[in-house]
Amino acid sequence: MKNTFIGTPMERREDLRFLRGRGEYVDDVAMPGLLYAVILRSSIAHGRLVSIDASAALKRPGVYAVITGRDMPPAPPIVPMRLQPLPEFKPFEQPVIAHDKVRYVGEPIAMVLAESVAIGEDALDAIDVTIDELPAVADWTVAAENKSVLFEKPGTNRSLVFESRKGDADAAFAKAPYVRRERLRTGRHYGLTMEPRGVLATWDDANGKLTVYGAAKVPFFNRRILAAQINLPVEQIEMIENDVGGGYGARGEFYPEDFLIPFAARHVKRPVKWIEDRRENLMAMNHAREEEAILEVACERDGTLIAIRGEVHTDMGAYMRTNGAVGARNVCQFLPGPYRIPHVKIDSCLWMTNKTPVGTYRGPGRFEANFFLERMIDMMAEELGIDRVEFRRKNLITAKEQPYPVATVQPTNAVDAYDSGDYPTTLERALKEANWSEISKLQGKLIDGKYHGLGVVCFVEGGAAGPKETARIEANDDDTFSVFLGTTSVGQGVETVFAQIAADALEVPIERIRHVYHGSTAYVSDGYGAYHSRSTVMGGSAVLDATNNFMAVLRQAAGKKLGCAESNVTFDVDKVVGGDGRSLPLKAFAGLTAEGEFKNHKHTYSYGAHIAHITVDARIGRIEIVDYVVVQDVGRAVNPLTLKGQVIGSLVQGLGGAVLEDLKYDENGQLLTGSLADYLLPTATDFPNLRCFVTDDHPSPINPLGAKGAGEGGIIAAGGCMANAVANALQSFGVQPRQLPLSPTYIWDLVQAGQRKAAE
């Protein structure tokens, strides 16, 4: 049979389990003799740790142990960088527990092991900690003064500068007929997961084996880190992924707790569980986004883009964590976006401050870059008297220009090119779906007390990070197959998508793919995980390779059993047929297995356009979305239904960052948004009118599926699109948003400033 499950919209297999309450999260795992870990975190942003006295806490009933940095001689281990592990970052990496200084509010100082969480939390108050407070560095501009440095040895708060270069930007600017200079910034966000992080570890003293539950995203990499830190062979550690309430880039990286809990389990020889509460989640999980750009864009008088140059400054927080450099690196590469800009010169500066460290959050660096450039394009088009849609049409990269080389980023020497696509087509489709010719008549109009505004932006999304991914196919004893993945699930629907790929490759009904196992280190020899929109591209291609290898070993085994040459063996749904017509059921080969892999050092680039139709009440700064359209070309949509869910979900997150979310600190480094009453998130009723159209007109040439990473396209362009829509709505006030989020207060201030200027 010839299947067409790839390309068919199919409902998610895993949803029945979740909707019936049968998911198993790490907090659902129980063990005899379990101890609960609670963590004492610094309440001071910057200071020298003088002493820790836990004697009173240890006397409390139900308290089993208190662990500090002194229990880890000669010093607590350091969490290494996973991505961009440059030597310049080493002096700024994080110890798993503070032992000489504290550098942010929320940094672990001590860990209590108790018979219950409540007993442990009460014991935290009995631990006496003395810290000599130092001046806090709570902003990148303060960090740049280097008056108070977080790390004495390097003697500077700047950990690195990424440089993005293409052509000769300075020469292009010297003769450019038109230049616009702007200063723009994005707020500090984080990938708030429905279920906070958690770790449960058990130690088998007899066999010297450590088992860790709650692994997500990159379990094989985290196993290597933990093995080195805890001095065990990697084979003696098993990482087990449970169901997770979302990942969004933040969850599953190696955090201090990923060492502390396994260490504690081995230290006390009892199972230990830690589940963070929401306040810990807000102050301890990676933050993201907070970037400020000072940019210049040059173009001809007709709007033809010539060059972009400038600086981007990223507030990195207190330490360089595993993937913390990605946002700062990406922003300088992706600033030209989907446009033909021949000359690029961007310096991206990474500043250490006394805030929670940053990591990746869906669309890292691309969300910021898109807001910076798309905002400037609208301002340039207005000043030059060019229609902003025509401005974009003129500069979008066409199919004939693909593969299109992008700027090279140093010091990683990252040379890359957009792989395929016709970028203007998605803009035209979005204009059609949004009925632009009609709604454009409403731009800036006041109707029923609200100003109507339109935003239009284009974007490009990178995906499919290498170097490889693995998968394994196994025949079961009931004529079905099991698929084992090196990649993981963080909620993106891999059990459904990979069943579609395997069923097509094996040419069997999808029901014959009985299980898709993912995320545990025992399933395959190696794995690289779920990040950078890579799972379908890399893992799906590995499944294809595993399938080919499985069919080869099946033919070999069948040839021996049927007494014929391998080349004469065929597979027909549930039986294996020899050259003379004799056959054996598939279950006769139960246990037969084969692993496959896909290696790739190139990236995929999906692309598209957003159009927003909003209203703004200028009296109170309130925004309402009338209609929002996203069109994204994904190369090849394996499951258009789950893909649309990904795009809409990420769009809602992007709208949250555009109008609501902002982690705020005071000048002493204290987190002011320490609860969900302060850190505002979109809810189900906030943005009801969202539409998504997925196309697959230009498959990627770099993988056998033709697929492109596409889980982040909804979020990338939301900030720029909403800011442009607000400017369009409030054009009569001369409003030009230059920062996110577009809070009611910020919009009201812009309106008031515009009215004052008009009255002068």
Q: Where residue 81 falls among pLDDT bands split at 50, 70, 90? A: very high
Is residue 760 scored above 90 in pLDDT? no
- Mean pLDDT score of the chain: 96
Structure tokens at 478: 């009931």
Weakest-pLDDT range from 288-292, 321-325, 494-498, 560-564: 560-564
pLDDT attached to residue 413: 83
Q: Where residue 2 falls among pLDDT bands split at 50, 70, 90? A: low
* The pTM of the whole model exceeds 0.75: yes
User: CB neighbours (10 Å) of residue 459?
Assistant: 32
pLDDT attached to residue 520: 87
- Is the Cα dihedral 530, 528, 511, 245 positive or negative? negative
**What are the residues whose beta carbons fall under 8 Å from the beta carbon of 560, sequence distance 6 or more?**
none
CA torsion angle 165 166 172 176 (round to 10)? -90
| Cα gap 639→5, rounded to integer Å | 8
pLDDT attached to residue 624: 97
Is residue 563 scored above 60 in pLDDT? yes
| Cα gap 703→539, rounded to integer Å | 11
Kindly report, residue by residue over 658-674, the tens digit of the pLDDT.
999 999 999 999 999 99
Hey, what long-range contacts does 661-665 have (CB within 8 A, 24 or more apart)?
661/187, 661/189, 661/741, 662/187, 662/188, 662/189, 662/741, 662/743, 663/187, 663/188, 663/189, 663/190, 663/282, 663/287, 663/290, 663/356, 664/188, 665/138, 665/355
| Cα gap 420→96, rounded to integer Å | 43
Q: What average pLDDT does range 319-345 have in this prediction?
A: 97
User: CB neighbours (10 Å) of residue 205?
Assistant: 8
| Cα gap 257→202, rounded to integer Å | 14
Kindly report, residue by residue over 19-49, the tens digit of the pLDDT.
999 999 999 999 999 999 999 999 999 999 9
- The distance in angstroms from the start CA to the end CA of the chain is 77
| Pairing verdict, β 513-518 and 570-572 | unpaired
Q: What are phi and psi of 301, to 5 degrees?
A: -65, -20
Which amino acid type is present at position 270?
Answer: R
Alpha helices in 610-735, H assignment, sequence order: 640-659, 713-716, 718-729
| Cα gap 539→527, rounded to integer Å | 9
CA torsion angle 645 646 652 653 (round to 10)? 150
| Rg (alpha carbons) of the chain, rounded to whole number | 27
Q: Where residue 278 falls among pLDDT bands split at 50, 70, 90? A: very high
Burial 418-430 (b: 16+ CB within 10 A, else e): bbbbbbbbbbbbb
| Pairing verdict, β 35-41 and 272-275 | parallel
| Cα gap 651→714, rounded to integer Å | 4
Task: Name the helix (H) or strand (E) containing 225.
Answer: helix 219-230
Q: What average pLDDT does range 191-202 have in this prediction?
A: 96
Surface-to-core class of residue 175, CB atoms within 10 Å of its CB (0-12 exposed, 13-18 middle, 19+ buried): exposed
Is residue 723 scored above 90 in pLDDT? yes
**What are the residues whose beta carbons fall under 8 Å from the beta carbon of 182, sequence distance 6 or more?**
293, 294, 295, 375, 376, 379, 738
pLDDT attached to residue 74: 87
Task: Please choose, from the candidates 339, 589, 348, 597, the residue with its C-alpha nearest in 3D space to the C-alpha of residue 471.
Answer: 597
Q: Determine if residue 211 is left, alpha or beta; phi over 0 gives left, psi from -120 to 50 gives alpha, anything else beta.
A: beta
| Cα gap 131→669, rounded to integer Å | 15
pLDDT attached to residue 180: 98
Residue entry with tokens 């084969």: 594
Kindly report, residue by residue over 282-304, the tens digit of the pLDDT.
999 999 999 999 999 999 999 99
Kindly report, residue by residue over 248-277, the tens digit of the pLDDT.
999 999 999 999 999 999 999 999 999 999
Q: Determine if residue 606 is left, alpha or beta; phi over 0 gives left, psi from -120 to 50 gives alpha, anything else beta.
A: beta
**Cβ 26 vs Cβ 213: under 8 Å:** yes
Whats the size of the chain, residue-wise?
A: 760
Which amino acid type is present at position 479?
Answer: D
- The SS3 call for residue 16 is helix
Surface-to-core class of residue 159, CB atoms within 10 Å of its CB (0-12 exposed, 13-18 middle, 19+ buried): buried
Is residue 1 scored above 70 in pLDDT? no
**Alpha carbon separation from 442 to 452, 613, 737 (Å, rounded):** 6, 9, 20
Q: Where residue 414 falls among pLDDT bands split at 50, 70, 90? A: confident
pLDDT attached to residue 519: 83
**Cβ 456 vs Cβ 609: under 8 Å:** yes
| Cα gap 349→163, rounded to integer Å | 9
Structure tokens at 137: 């560095």
pLDDT attached to residue 73: 81
Q: Determine if residue 514 is left, alpha or beta; phi over 0 gives left, psi from -120 to 50 gives alpha, anything else beta.
A: alpha
| Pairing verdict, β 570-572 and 575-577 | antiparallel
Is residue 404 scored above 80 in pLDDT? yes
Task: Name the helix (H) or strand (E) containing 274.
Answer: strand 272-275
**Alpha carbon separation from 746 to 618, 623, 723 (Å, rounded):** 11, 12, 12
Orientation angle between helical segments 718-729 and 366-384, nearest 10 degrees: 30
Specify the DSSP class assigned to residue 400.
G
CA torsion angle 221 239 499 16 (round to 10)? -130
| Pairing verdict, β 101-102 and 481-485 | unpaired
Kindly report, residue by residue over 731-756, the tens digit of the pLDDT.
999 999 999 999 999 999 999 999 99
User: CB neighbours (10 Å) of residue 133?
Assistant: 12
Surface-to-core class of residue 279, CB atoms within 10 Å of its CB (0-12 exposed, 13-18 middle, 19+ buried): middle
Residue entry with tokens 């010169």: 345
- The SS3 call for residue 512 is helix
Q: Where residue 415 falls among pLDDT bands split at 50, 70, 90? A: confident
- High-pLDDT (> 70) share of the chain, %: 100
pLDDT attached to residue 177: 98
Q: What average pLDDT does range 638-664 have in this prediction?
A: 96
Is residue 518 scored above 70 in pLDDT? yes
Kindly report, residue by residue over 597-611, the tens digit of the pLDDT.
999 999 999 999 999
Q: What average pLDDT does range 94-100 have in this prediction?
A: 96
Q: What average pLDDT does range 701-717 have in this prediction?
A: 96
pLDDT attached to residue 580: 86
Task: Name the helix (H) or strand (E) containing 101.
Answer: strand 101-102
Q: Where residue 572 falls among pLDDT bands split at 50, 70, 90? A: confident
| Cα gap 575→320, rounded to integer Å | 54
